[in-house]
Amino acid sequence: MRAYVIQPTFGLEHLTAVDRPDPGPVGLGQVLVRVRAVSLNYRDLLVVRGQYNPRMPLPRVPCSDAVGEVVAVGPDVTTVQPGDRVCGTFAQAWEDNPLTEAAARSTLGGDLDGVLAEYVALSEHGVVIVPEHLTDEEAATLPCAAVTAWHAVASGFVATDKTVLLQGTGGVSLFALQFAKKLGARVLITSSRDDKLARAMDLGADAGVNYKTMPDWDKWARGQTGGVGVDLVVEVGGAGTLDRSVKSVRHAGRIALIGVLAGGTGFNPLPLVMRGICLQGILVGPRAMFLAMNLFIERHQLRPVVDKVFPFADATAAFRHLESGNHFGKIVISLAG
Ligand SMILES: NC(=O)c1ccc[n+]([C@@H]2O[C@H](COP(=O)([O-])OP(=O)(O)OC[C@H]3O[C@@H](n4cnc5c(N)ncnc54)[C@H](OP(=O)(O)O)[C@@H]3O)[C@@H](O)[C@H]2O)c1
């Protein structure tokens, strides 16, 4: 089979297409999946650059998110069968909460070889059947960004009388926008570009601000809530945006800490204490959460926002597009045809 590996060292210029033996024979508890589409996450770029885990053994197949068809199952497998269309879960050994160290160390395209390959062998308990109404390109976007967004907003904290603040228009934020709107919340969103803000409004965002032309977007967010502050911030910037997120959130509000896009160092924890704010670190989510999210996606017939689809042969160009920051939503690599 064809697969991409990072070798002999890190760097996008070292993402190399190679021939590898097909995985198999299919072992106990395993399913063999013929991959149809892969989606990229910002993490995949960090992995390829060596910024995610510089000590990661190489060669390694990158990427956590794929959809494909089950083509063979181990003799004891009962939950899926050949012909089923499945996604792998981000952390193969994380079926339900609480998160354990072993589960956190079972991530595709991180601890384990990933899915940027024609075939992958996965655990029976590390796959989920995907909603029927989604195309392969759409379904491939679910395992990381969508489950993370679901984890952040579907905690019971988001409801009709709540306001959620989202940062940027990448994969996590646009899933959070779609979920939060269906849960009835008011959604505020930031972006570096006015045209992207306009597209976010078309998706249902209630108000938006350009964080380049208005760097003190926290004041804007408070203004949008009558000076009270938002109920939830979906924090994808990290240290570079966290202080402003804390200023944006109300007393006893919540910040779902997810990303590291904005770099930055130093953070003053005192306002968290003084204003009773809950800072929740989020690592994607377990398989049980993926299943619950799929039910929600089916019920509301939601469709992920796919920015651009690249052929498998142009996987490096897909990563370059992610690197450019020009995308709106998800970047997908198709193995069709
Ligand atoms: N903890 C977890 O389990 C988990 C899971 C998924 C993702 N993540 C992390 O979450 C972050 C987002 O991931 P993603 O896959 O959604 O990324 P993505 O699709 O590449 O989205 C990136 C977008 O974020 C916006 N952005 C960049 N810098 C920003 C800044 N300083 N302030 C506000 N927005 C900024 C930009 O939107 P505009 O162009 O609109 O400005 C950019 O297009 C990454 O750091 C990723 O590693 C963590």
Report the separation in Å between the CA atom of 126 and the middle of ligand 1, taken as the mean of its atom positions. 25
Q: Please indicate, yes or no, whether residues 320 and 193 belong to a single structural domain of this protein.
A: no
DSSP state at residue 275: T
pLDDT at 149 over 80: yes
| C-beta of 211 in contact with ligand 1 (< 6 A) | yes
Note whether residue 42 is domain-resident: yes
- Span 145-169, mean pLDDT? 90
Q: Please indicate, yes or no, whether residues 49 and 180 belong to a single structural domain of this protein.
A: no
Question: Residue 210 and residue 216: Cα distance in Å, rounded?
Answer: 10
Lowest average pLDDT, out of 13-17, 159-163, 284-288, 309-313, goes to 159-163
Q: Please indicate, yes or no, whether residues 225 and 136 belong to a single structural domain of this protein.
A: no
User: So what's the pLDDT on residue 267?
Assistant: 82
Give, for 181, the enclosing helix (H) or strand (E): helix 171-182
Total domains present in the chain: 2
Show the domain range for 45: 2-141+304-334
Pick the atom of ligand 1 nearest to 325's CA. 43
Note whether residue 53 is domain-resident: yes
Report the separation in Å between the CA atom of 259 and the middle of ligand 1, taken as the mean of its atom positions. 6
pLDDT tens-place string over residues 31-49: 999 999 999 999 999 999 9
Q: Please indicate, yes or no, whether residues 119 and 163 belong to a single structural domain of this protein.
A: no
Q: What CATH number did the domain enclosing 6 receive? A: 3.90.180.10
Note whether 115 and 108 are within 8 A (CB): yes
Q: Please indicate, yes or no, whether residues 137 and 155 belong to a single structural domain of this protein.
A: no
% the chain with pLDDT above 90: 92
Pick the atom of ligand 1 nearest to 173's CA. 16
Q: Please indicate, yes or no, whether residues 38 and 124 belong to a single structural domain of this protein.
A: yes
To test the pocket of ligand 1, the residue of 46, 90, 195, 236 to mutate (highest count of ligand atoms within 8 Å of its CB) is 236
Report the separation in Å between the CA atom of 172 and the middle of ligand 1, taken as the mean of its atom positions. 7
Q: Please indicate, yes or no, whether residues 116 and 210 belong to a single structural domain of this protein.
A: no
Q: Please indicate, yes or no, whether residues 64 and 192 belong to a single structural domain of this protein.
A: no
Report the separation in Å between the CA atom of 42 and the middle of ligand 1, taken as the mean of its atom positions. 7
Note whether residue 294 is domain-resident: no
Pick the atom of ligand 1 nearest to 330's CA. 19
Question: Residue 127 and residue 290: Cα distance in Å, rounded?
Answer: 10
Question: Residue 63 and residue 43: Cα distance in Å, rounded?
Answer: 8
Q: Please indicate, yes or no, whether residues 223 and 316 belong to a single structural domain of this protein.
A: no
> Which of 250, 266, 281 finishes a domain?
281
Q: If you take atom 36 of ligand 1, which residue's CA is the nearest one? A: 168
pLDDT tens-place string over residues 100-136: 999 999 999 999 999 999 999 999 999 999 999 999 9
Q: Please indicate, yes or no, whether residues 78 and 41 belong to a single structural domain of this protein.
A: yes
Report the separation in Å between the CA atom of 183 and the middle of ligand 1, taken as the mean of its atom positions. 22
Question: Residue 26 and residue 13: Cα distance in Å, rounded?
Answer: 33
Mean pLDDT of the chain: 96
User: So what's the pLDDT on residue 238?
Assistant: 87
Q: What CATH number did the domain enclosing 169 receive? A: 3.40.50.720
- Span 148-154, mean pLDDT? 96
Q: Please indicate, yes or no, whether residues 190 and 267 belong to a single structural domain of this protein.
A: yes
User: So what's the pLDDT on residue 159?
Assistant: 74
Q: Please indicate, yes or no, whether residues 109 and 177 belong to a single structural domain of this protein.
A: no
